Structure 1
């Protein structure tokens, strides 16, 4: 019986549509549970900038799943 190989998409959203900054923010904050302010401190960004990265990432991921 042939084995079915799982694609990466089956394990979660396709993050390849994101920029490096969006992907890093999304994975760190949404998948690993780090707070926006904590992530902002770690990356020397403003919390608003991190929020914008997350918003763009989530919009792109929603568009890709539609």
Structure 2
């Protein structure tokens, strides 16, 4: 059986600026997953990376505060 794979690159700076430009103060991995049509796990990884970059901060278990 042939394995089909698609690799997608997400510009984290562009994503961060999109979040900062939104009127939201907080975002959950579930919301980001829905917006980007990705898994909740992948969305959590993206938010974790954005937190390391200083664009968001982990506020609680499943909630990140967007730094405006």
> TM-score band (shorter)?
0.3 to 0.5
Structure with more strand by fraction: 2
Q: TM-score, normalised by structure 2?
A: 0.42
Rg larger in structure: 1
Structure with more helix by fraction: 1
Q: TM-score, normalised by structure 1?
A: 0.43
